[in-house]
């Protein structure tokens, strides 16, 4: 990190994420040296909008392969040095079956919650060791109050969110920080073909919120920002209203 908080090394867990790519583009500066895109398979992913001088590396990483997470982080550090920013961007939405099929739901929990917790802890250990660095966790407003139509996905995001905010408190004083990001509906690969919800935005809008949040050392950011107030209300509206809003 330099005086402008510009990172030198960025690690993206869930390296194909459109939102993460937009964040990396916003954080890119002449200080940026490497970006590691970690995702299942590890095959090459195009990252547009960063300078050719930046080393972009794609590596295999599976959120469900929990026993490998600590060694995975160590390997990245051995190759690139201290990690300034880690973006936890993997996640699955799941099909309609996750709301009824116990196995499919359990698989979603494996990725979105267990994977988030175990990779988050592996990252936290490294950031603690460095005495600096930020873990940016892409949570979702879906976890703030779970909707009948996707309550299992919502429950996983609630779990990830609670973990992230708690980890942030646990890291206080260590120099390492967590920033929990709560986007609304974002037009991305994940939501392709779905009906847009109110307050929809683009990955670039989430990136703007993230970069502003990093600059101001925020622990939670909403994207778009107005959702913070929208959900302050939605959280407490009576159940029949909430159900009606979801239909």
Ligand X SMILES: NC(=O)c1ccc[n+]([C@@H]2O[C@H](COP(=O)([O-])OP(=O)(O)OC[C@H]3O[C@@H](n4cnc5c(N)ncnc54)[C@H](OP(=O)(O)O)[C@@H]3O)[C@@H](O)[C@H]2O)c1
Asked whether position 6 contacts another protein by CB under 8 A, the answer is yes
The site partner of 29 among another protein, ligand X, none (C-beta below 5 to 8 Å per kind) is another protein
Segment interacting with ligand X (CB under 6 A) among 8-16, 47-55, 66-74, 97-105: 8-16
- Residue 170 is a binding residue for another protein (CB under 8 A): no
Q: Which stretch binds another protein (CB under 8 A): 26-34, 39-47, 92-100, 108-116?
A: 26-34
Q: Restricting to residues 82-141, which ones interact with another protein according to CB under 8 A?
A: 82, 128-132
Select which of 61, 72, 90, 153 is catalytic.
Answer: 153
Among 64, 166, 172, 235, which residue sits at the site for ligand X (rule: CB under 6 A)? Answer: 64
Secondary structure string (H, E, C) spanning the chain: CCCCCCCCEEEEECCCCHHHHHHHHHHCCCCCCEEEEEECCCCCCCCCCCCCCCEEEEEECCCCCHHHHHHHHHHHHHHHCCCCEEEECCCCCCCHHHHCCHHHHHHHHHHHHHHHHHHHHHHHHHHHHHCCEEEEEECCHHHCCCCHHHHHHHHHHHHHHHHHHHHHHHCCCCCEEEEEEEECCECCHHHCCCCCCCCCECHHHHHHHHHHHHHCCCCEEEECCCHHHHHHHHCCCCHHHHHHHHC
Among 15, 94, 159, 213, binds ligand X (CB under 6 A): 15
Active site residue 153: yes
Give catalytic residue positions. 153
């Amino acid at each position: 990190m330099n005086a402008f908080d510009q990172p030198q090394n960025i690690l993206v867990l869930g390296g194909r994420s459109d939102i993460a790519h937009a964040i990396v583009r916003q954080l890119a500066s002449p200080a940026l040296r490497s970006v590691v895109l970690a995702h299942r398979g590890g095959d090459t992913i195009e990252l547009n909008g960063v300078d050719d001088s930046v080393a972009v590396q794609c590596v295999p990483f599976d959120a469900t392969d929990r026993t490998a997470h600590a060694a995975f982080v160590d390997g990245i550090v051995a190759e690139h040095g201290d990690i300034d920013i880690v973006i936890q961007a993997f996640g699955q939405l799941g099909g309609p079956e996750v709301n009824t099929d116990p196995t499919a739901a359990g698989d979603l929990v494996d990725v979105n919650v267990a994977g988030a917790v175990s990779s988050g802890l592996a990252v936290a250990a490294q950031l603690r060791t460095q005495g600096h660095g930020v873990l940016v966790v892409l949570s979702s407003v879906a976890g703030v109050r779970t909707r009948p139509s996707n309550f299992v996905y919502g429950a996983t995001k609630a779990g990830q969110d609670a973990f992230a905010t708690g980890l942030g408190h646990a890291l206080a004083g260590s120099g390492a920080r967590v920033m929990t990001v709560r986007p609304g509906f974002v037009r991305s690969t994940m939501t392709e073909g779905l009906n847009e919800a109110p307050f929809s935005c683009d990955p670039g809008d989430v990136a703007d919120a993230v970069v502003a949040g990093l600059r101001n050392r925020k622990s939670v950011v909403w994207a778009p920002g107005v959702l913070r107030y929208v959900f302050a209300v939605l959280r407490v509206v009576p159940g029949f209203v909430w159900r009606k809003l979801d239909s």
